Amino acid sequence: MINKIPNRTSRSEILIAFALCSLLLGLFYYWLLRVPDSAFLLSVIPENRSIVVDSSLAASVGWLPTFLHVFSFSILTVLVLGDRATNFSCALWAIVNAGFEVGQALPDDRIVRLPEFLNLHQYLVSGTFSYLDLMACLLGAVVAWLLLSSISTGRSQKQSDHETAVP
């Protein structure tokens, strides 16, 4: 458990580093294992044409982007909204991602009836439902919550130091 942060590095900097590293790992996953038109950012970076990856690798870690998305966006949302939003943030991103995952299990005729928003139809029709992705939603939220809860904000650490110093 991380209780005390070195004086030179703020809690926010550590959390931003965790979130950005997670997002970069997710981008690397997409660049390495997905087709270029499967994510917007892949259209603006050079295509991966030289690295051949075993398809079993993609199948075994296919849940990773979902985990990373929930994990990193939960952290970033807490950084914007504050520590009081930790539970809300983690639950929000788990539910949003789970909703999109469940949407991929809908039959095509039901997807067509949904309102068209940000190419949602194409995403849901071309996506593949996975129970592992649903588990990754929950796991990403839990790991983000554990990280956010384990890093002291400084105030609580000073307060607990004061309480132990008072006779």
43 vs 12 pLDDT, higher one? 12
107 Ramachandran zone, left/alpha/beta (phi>0; psi -120 to 50): beta
Q: Are 67 and 7 in contact (CB under 8 A)?
A: no
Q: How far apart are CA 52 and CA 105, in angstroms?
A: 30
Residue type, 35: V
- Is the per-residue pLDDT at 99 higher than 80? yes
Return d(Cα 70, Cα 65) in angstroms, integer.
Answer: 9
Write the single-letter amino acid at 57.
L
Q: What local confidence, expressed as pLDDT, does residue 2 receive?
A: 54
pTM of the model: 0.80
Confidence band, pLDDT 50/70/90 cuts, at residue 43: low
Terminal Cα distance for the chain, rounded = 27
pLDDT at res. 158: 44
Name which residue leads in pLDDT, 166 or 97: 97
- Amino acid code (one letter) for 66: T
Residue-range domain boundaries for the chain:
11-46+53-165
Task: For residue range 65-88, list pLDDT tens digits in order.
Answer: 999 999 999 999 999 999 999 999
Answer yes or no: is pLDDT of 134 > 50: yes
Token pair in block for residue 30:
């997409």
Higher-confidence position of 48 and 11: 11
- Residue identified by tokens 């959390």 is 15
**In which region does residue 154 sit, left (phi positive, over 0), alpha (psi from -120 to 50) or beta (all else)?**
left
CA dist 135 and 108 (Å) reads 24
